[in-house]
A and B are shown apart, each in its own frame.
Chain A
Amino acid sequence: MFLTNNIADAFMISGVMKMPFKFLGSEVWLTSSALTTCLITIIILILVIALRKVILNAASNPLKSPTGVQNFLELGIEALGGMGDSVLGDNTSRFINYIGTIFVFILFSNLAGLLGLRAPTADYGVTFLLGIMTFIIVQFQNIKNNKFGAITSLFQPTPVLFPINIIGEFANPLSISLRLFANMLSGVIILGLWYGMLPIFAKIGIPAALHVYCDLFSGAIQTYVFCMLTMVYINDKL
Chain B
Amino acid sequence: MNFSGLDFVHGCSAIGAGLAMIAGIGPGVGQGIAAGYGASAVGKNPGARSDITSTMLLGQAVAETTGLYGLVVAIILMFVKPFG
Contact = CB atoms under 8 A, between A and B. Distances in A.
A154 interface: no
Contact of A1 (B14, B61, B65, B69): B14
B5 to A, nearest CB: 15
A144 B7 CA distance: 55
Interface centre among A175, A183, A189, A225 (most CB of B within 10 A): A225
Contacts of B69: 178, 182
A228 interface: yes
A87 B65 CA distance: 21
Contacts of B22: none
A175 B75 contact: no
Contact of B61 (A12, A185, A189, A221): A221
Interface in B57-71: 57-58, 61-62, 64-65, 68-69, 71
Nearest to B68: A182
Interface in A190-238: 221-222, 224-225, 228-229
B79 A183 contact: no
A221 B68 contact: no
Interface in B39-84: 54, 57-58, 61-62, 64-65, 68-69, 71-72, 75, 78-79
Interface residues of B, number: 16
Chain B at the A interface: mostly helix, strand, loop or mixed? helix
A179 B65 CA distance: 6
A186 interface: yes
A189 B75 contact: yes
Interface residues of A, number: 19
Given A8-B79, A185-B75, A189-B75, A228 B58 contact: yes
Nearest to B61: A225
A222 B58 CA distance: 9
B65 to A, nearest CB: 5
A179 B72 contact: no
A122 B68 CA distance: 13
Nearest to B71: A182
Nearest to A176: B65
A15 to B, nearest CB: 16
Interface string A1-19: 1100000100010000000
13 contacts: A1-B10, A1-B78, A8-B79, A178-B68, A178-B72, A179-B65, A179-B68, A182-B69, A182-B72, A183-B64, A183-B68, A224-B58, A228-B58
Given A178-B69, A186-B68, A186-B71, 15 more contacts: A1-B10, A1-B14, A8-B79, A12-B79, A179-B64, A182-B69, A182-B72, A183-B64, A185-B71, A185-B75, A221-B57, A221-B61, A225-B57, A225-B61, A225-B62
Interface of B: 10, 14, 54, 57-58, 61-62, 64-65, 68-69, 71-72, 75, 78-79
The 9 closest A-B pairs by CB, nearest first: A182-B68, A225-B61, A179-B65, A182-B72, A182-B71, A1-B10, A228-B58, A175-B65, A221-B57
